[in-house]
Amino acid sequence: MVEEVLANLYRIEIPLPGSPLGRVNSYVVKDAKRNLIIDTGLNRKECLEAMLAGLDEIGVELKRSDFYITHLHADHFALARFLSDDNTKVYMNEPDKTYIENWTSWEPVEKFYRLNGFPSDEVDAAIRNHPGEKYGSDRIPVMSAVKDGDIISCGGFDFTAVATPGHTPGHMCLYEPAKKFLLSGDHILIDITPNIGCWMDGIDPLRLYLESLEKVYAMQVELVLPGHRRLVTDCKGRITELRRHHLERLAEVLAILESGPQTGYQTASRMSWDIDCSSWADFPVPQKWFATSEAIAHLRYLEEEGKIVRSEHNGCRFYSRAPKPV
């Protein structure tokens, strides 16, 4: 589906077959000199065909187009490798750009998940079925780093890059202050909550995400153009809902730890999830993977707050309620 959102600004729905997300929104800004395409889709035939058909429908030539990628996830980034050439600019935030360019293997991520209690046989299955592994790119295009506050002008719009880390370490939106709309990537979504996951030590993704929500809440945003699903017309209201969701999740995790030490995997298995499965055992392995990373993000936040503590036994990391002050 192709939709004209505003003059010179279009949304192309790119299918994500087999994914609960259904599709990713790619936004195209038309310009007499060079167009700008925001986010792309997976490295899949279905994504490529939908993108090319959509661009043809609105009369946009790839050879006169540049790309802005909101974050490193394959459903937003992978297709850029096949749509770009040596003359194309591909913009990406510095942290995610650095992560992609320094990527060598899944080994550190696998080790982190095993440390947090994810069964080894399920780790292998999760990696094999991960969209980044199955439908990523075998070549990384040359990318131009974008920093918070940078301006990108195209199609009569002056977009300001807005750093909103949380969903990924460097996630970055585009804000048009004159028109008061935000291209939000996966920072703000309607109907579903963005996955705020933790897959390595040294970061506190949920804290970053909540701070990023507050940053956007303070901005004048009348329309949000998200990376998935419908447009958001009540930005502040949706941010309030997202904030409340995570506060409830934090309380749920604390309640789970009342019964004793838990790994990240065990915590995830006892949390409530909006998925059509009767038990944790019935969850598809990829969903267990994302659920566990989200559980770890909430555990990490609570640890930094001093409300829980961690320990390691037999190669696994456990979290417990912090001792009450005497």
Give per-residue pLDDT as tens, 217-237: 999 999 999 999 999 999 999
Residue-averaged pLDDT of the chain: 96
Amino acid occupying residue 84: S
Structure tokens at 31: 């310009």
Residue 221 in domain: yes
pLDDT for 152: 98
Residue 275 in domain: no
- Name the phi and psi angles at 47, rounded to 5: -70, -45
DSSP for 278-306, please give it: SSGGGS-HHHHHHHHHHHHHHHHHHHHTT
Whole-number Å distance between alpha carbons of 282 and 275 = 10
Look at residues 1, 8, 3, 2 and name the one whose alpha carbon lies nearest to residue 179.
8
Residue 143 in domain: yes
Amino acid occupying residue 64: R
Structure tokens at 220: 């004048």
Residue 49 and residue 108 in contact, taking contact as beta carbons nearer than 8 Å: no
Residue 192 in domain: yes
Taking the CA atoms of residue 77, residue 292, residue 282 and residue 21 in that order, the dihedral angle to the nearest 10 degrees is -30
pLDDT, tens digit, 9 for 90 and up, residues 302-318: 999 999 999 999 999 99
Q: The tokens 């505003």 sit on which residue?
A: 6
Residue 69 and residue 78 in contact, taking contact as beta carbons nearer than 8 Å: no
Number of domains the chain contains? 1
Whole-number Å distance between alpha carbons of 12 and 28 = 8
- Name the phi and psi angles at 175, rounded to 5: -120, 135
pLDDT, tens digit, 9 for 90 and up, residues 191-203: 999 999 999 999 9
- Mean pLDDT on 232-246: 98
Percent of the chain beyond pLDDT 70?
A: 99
Look at residues 129, 18, 142 and name the one whose alpha carbon lies nearest to residue 80.
142
pLDDT for 324: 77
Taking the CA atoms of residue 89, residue 95, residue 97 and residue 99 in that order, the dihedral angle to the nearest 10 degrees is 180
pLDDT for 20: 86
The better pLDDT of the pair 278, 79 is held by 79
Using H for helix, E for strand and C for coil, what is the string for 164-195? CCCCCCCCEEEEECCCCEEEEECCCCCCCCCC
Radius of gyration of the chain (CA): 20
> Is the pLDDT confidence value at 166 over 70?
yes
Residue 321 in domain: no
Expressed as residue numbers, the domain containing 172 is: 2-104+139-242
Percent of the chain beyond pLDDT 90?
A: 91
Tell me the pTM: 0.96
Residue 115 in domain: no
> Is the pLDDT confidence value at 31 over 70?
yes
Residue 181 in domain: yes
326 band by pLDDT with thresholds 50, 70 and 90? low
Residue 186 in domain: yes
Q: Residue 14 pairs with which residues in a beta bridge?
A: 24
CATH of the domain at 20: 3.60.15.10
pLDDT, tens digit, 9 for 90 and up, residues 274-304: 888 889 999 999 999 999 999 999 999 999 9
> Is the pLDDT confidence value at 89 over 80?
yes
Alpha-helix runs per DSSP H in the chain: 45-58, 74-77, 80-83, 94-101, 107-115, 120-129, 131-134, 205-217, 235-256, 264-270, 285-304
